[in-house]
Structure 1
Amino acid sequence: MDYLKTVVPSQLIAERGSNLVVINPGSANIRIGLAHQHAPFVVPQCIAWYMRAWNEGYQGPKRTLQDQHSEREKAYDIIASLLKIPFLDEDTVNSYPRKMARVDGYNQQSRSDATFAWTDVRQKNLNSSSARELSESKVVIAETLDRPQGVDSGGRDAVECKYKEFICGEEALRISSTEPYCLRHPIRRGHLNISQHYPTQQVIEDLHAIWDWILNEKLHIPQADRNMFSAILVVPETFDSREIKEVLSIVLRDLRFGSAVVHQEGIAAIFGNGLSTACVVNMGAQVTSVICIDDGVALPTTSVTLPFGGEDISRCLLWVQRHHQTWPTIRTDPLAKPVDLLMLNKLKESYCLICGGELDAVTVVHSYEDGMPAVAHKTRMSALNVPPMGLFYPQLLVPDEYPPPPRSWFHDYEDMLEDSWHMDFPRRPDMPDGMFLGVNGGVNMWENYPVFPIRPKKEENLGLADAITSSILSAGRIDLQRKLFCSIQLIGGVALTGGLVGAVEERVLHAIPANEAIDTVEVLQSRTDPNFVTWKGGAILGVLDFTRDGWIHREDWIHNGIHVGSGRKYRDSYYLQGQAMSYISS
Structure 2
Amino acid sequence: MVGKKSGKALLREEGLERTDNNMEQTSWPVIQPINQKNYYVDFLKRDEQFLAVRTQQEEARNKMIKHAKDRDRALAQGRQIGPDGDVDMDEEEEEEEEEEDELSAGNKTIVIHPGSQNLRIGLASDLLPKSIPMVIARRANTSESEEDMGEPMPKRRKLDDGKVEPVPEKRFGEEFATKFVAASNELKVRMRMNKRKVLPQSRDMVTSYNRRATYDTINEHNDTMHIDWTDVGKEPEYVAGRAALRIPDLSKPRYKLYWPIQHGWINERDYDSIRNIYNDIQLIIEDSVRTELKLDLRTRKDWAQYNCVIVIPDYYERTYVTSLLDLAIQDLGVARVCFIQESLAASFGAGFTTTCIVDIGAQKTSICCVEDGMVIDNSRVNLKYGGQDVTDSFVKMIIYNHFPYADVNLKRRYDFLLVEELKSKFSTIAEADISVQLYDFHVRAPGQDTRKYTFKIYDEVALPTLALFKPETFDDHKGKLIGRRKLISRSYDLYDGKPNDPTSTAQNEILKAIAPADLPPEPQKLLFAKINGLNGIKDESDSRRPSIARVQDLDPGTPLASGASSPVRKLNELTPQPDSTLHENGNGVGTPNPDESFLKIGQPGDDTLMLDSAEHTNTFDPLALERRDDILPIYPLANAITSSINHAARGSSSKTRDLYQSLLLIGGASKVNGLGPHLEQTLVGLLADTGYSRDIVVNRPPRDLDSEVVVWKGGAVFGRMSRTNDSWVTPFLYERLGERVLASKLMWAW
TM-score by length of 2: 0.59
Instruction: Write the distance in 2 (CA, Å) between the matches of 1:74 and 1:323.
Output: 14
The match for 1:168 is 240
Instruction: Write the distance in 1 (CA, Å) between the matches of 2:674 and 2:364.
Output: 20
The match for 1:341 is 416
Q: Which amino acid aligns with 2:482?
A: P
Identity of aligned residues (%): 23
The match for 1:552 is 729
1:50 aligns with 2:139: yes
Q: Which amino acid aligns with 1:541?
A: F
Secondary structure at the residue paired with 1:544?
A: coil
The match for 2:230 is 120
Q: Which amino acid aligns with 1:345?
A: E
Instruction: Write the distance in 2 (CA, Å) between the matches of 1:63 and 1:236.
Output: 32
Contact kept? 1:18, 1:36, Cα under 8 Å: yes
The match for 2:249 is 177
Structure ranking higher on relative contact order (CA contacts 8 Å, 6+ apart) = 1
* CA separation of 1:361 and 1:91: change in aligned 2, threshold 3 A: closer
Q: Which has the larger radius of gyration?
A: 2
The match for 2:438 is 362
Secondary structure at the residue paired with 2:695?
A: coil
Instruction: Write the distance in 1 (CA, Å) between the matches of 2:489 and 2:229.
Output: 40
1:353 aligns with 2:428: yes
Instruction: Write the distance in 2 (CA, Å) between the matches of 1:94 and 1:27.
Output: 38
1:74 aligns with 2:74: no
Query: Deviations 1:272-303 (Å, cap 9, x if unpaired)?
Result: 01111100001111111111111111112111
Instruction: Write the distance in 2 (CA, Å) between the matches of 1:414 and 1:277.
Output: 33
* CA separation of 1:19 and 1:360: change in aligned 2, threshold 3 A: farther
Range with greater deviation from structure 2 (536-545 or 560-569): 560-569
Instruction: Write the distance in 1 (CA, Å) between the matches of 2:130 and 2:719.
Output: 18
Aligned with 1:246 (options 282, 305, 323): 323
Secondary structure at the residue paired with 2:720?
A: helix
Instruction: Write the distance in 1 (CA, Å) between the matches of 2:735 and 2:180.
Output: 50
Post-superposition offset of 1:545:
4.9
Contact kept? 2:666, 2:700, Cα under 8 Å: no
The match for 2:265 is 191
Q: Which amino acid aligns with 1:119?
A: W
The match for 1:321 is 398
Contact kept? 2:718, 2:725, Cα under 8 Å: no
Q: Which amino acid aligns with 1:321?
A: I
Q: Which amino acid aligns with 2:275?
A: Q
Post-superposition offset of 1:509:
1.4
Range with greater deviation from structure 2 (530-539 or 64-73): 64-73
The match for 2:452 is 376
The match for 1:305 is 382
Contact kept? 1:240, 1:452, Cα under 8 Å: no
Contact kept? 1:280, 1:290, Cα under 8 Å: yes
Aligned with 1:264 (options 319, 341, 347): 341
Instruction: Write the distance in 2 (CA, Å) between the matches of 1:330 and 1:547.
Output: 57
Secondary structure at the residue paired with 2:491?
A: coil
Secondary structure at the residue paired with 1:391?
A: coil
* CA separation of 1:18 and 1:270: change in aligned 2, threshold 3 A: same
1:213 aligns with 2:287: yes
Q: Which amino acid aligns with 1:34?
A: L
1:22 aligns with 2:111: yes
Q: Which amino acid aligns with 1:181?
A: Y
Instruction: Write the distance in 2 (CA, Å) between the matches of 1:484 and 1:409.
Output: 39
Post-superposition offset of 1:37:
0.3
Q: Which amino acid aligns with 1:525?
A: R
The match for 2:665 is 490
Post-superposition offset of 1:212:
1.2
Instruction: Write the distance in 2 (CA, Å) between the matches of 1:479 and 1:409.
Output: 45
The match for 1:569 is 747
The runs of 5 or more residues in structure 2 that have no matched partner are: 1-59, 61-83, 154-171, 211-222, 515-631
Post-superposition offset of 1:115:
5.7
Q: Which amino acid aligns with 2:416?
A: L
Query: Deviations 1:239-295 (Å, cap 9, x if unpaired)?
Result: 311111112222222121111001000000000011111000011111111111111
Contact kept? 2:439, 2:454, Cα under 8 Å: yes
Instruction: Write the distance in 2 (CA, Å) between the matches of 1:114 and 1:309.
Output: 33
Secondary structure at the residue paired with 1:377?
A: strand
Root-mean-square deviation over aligned CA pairs:
3.8
Post-superposition offset of 1:32:
0.3
Contact kept? 1:241, 1:451, Cα under 8 Å: no
Contact kept? 1:191, 1:238, Cα under 8 Å: no
TM-score by length of 1: 0.74
Q: Which amino acid aligns with 2:404?
A: P
Range with greater deviation from structure 2 (467-476 or 15-24): 467-476
Q: After TM superposition, what 4+ stretches of structure 1 lie above 4 angstroms from structure 2? A: 5-9, 53-56, 58-68, 84-88, 93-100, 113-116, 368-371, 408-411, 449-457, 564-568
The match for 2:674 is 499
Post-superposition offset of 1:74:
2.8
Post-superposition offset of 1:60:
10
